[in-house]
């Protein structure tokens, strides 16, 4: 019965890691057409865009990744709590 637990935990961890990599890559100049950057955008934008619409960047700072981390962690705990 640990397989679904581990799979869900891995997926959330991978998504959080993808957001973290995207944040780090935003600090350096990198080609936006790079396949890795495009993949990260495709994975993370569906999560970050709605948050960005609700809370737009302020003074050039985008808080959507921080909010996404908290939301993903809460969602992970809810889903895992319902499974076990």
pLDDT, tens digit, 9 for 90 and up, residues 27-78: 998 898 999 999 999 999 999 999 999 999 888 899 999 999 999 999 999 9
pLDDT of residue 35: 94
Confidence at 1, pLDDT banded by 50, 70, 90: low
Asked if residue 40 lies in contact with residue 18, where contact means CB atoms within 8 angstroms, the answer is yes
Predicted TM-score (pTM) of the model is 0.89
Confidence at 2, pLDDT banded by 50, 70, 90: confident
| Domain ranges across the chain | 2-83
Helices (H), ranges, the chain: 2-26, 35-54, 64-83
């Amino acid at each position: 019965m640990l397989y679904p637990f581990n799979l869900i935990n891995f997926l959330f961890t991978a998504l959080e890691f993808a957001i973290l990599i995207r944040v780090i890559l935003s600090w350096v100049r990198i080609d936006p057409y790079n396949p890795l950057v495009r993949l990260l955008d495709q994975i993370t934008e569906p999560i970050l865009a709605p948050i960005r619409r609700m809370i737009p960047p302020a003074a050039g700072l985008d808080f959507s990744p921080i909010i996404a981390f908290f939301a993903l962690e809460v969602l992970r705990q809810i889903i895992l709590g319902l499974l076990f």
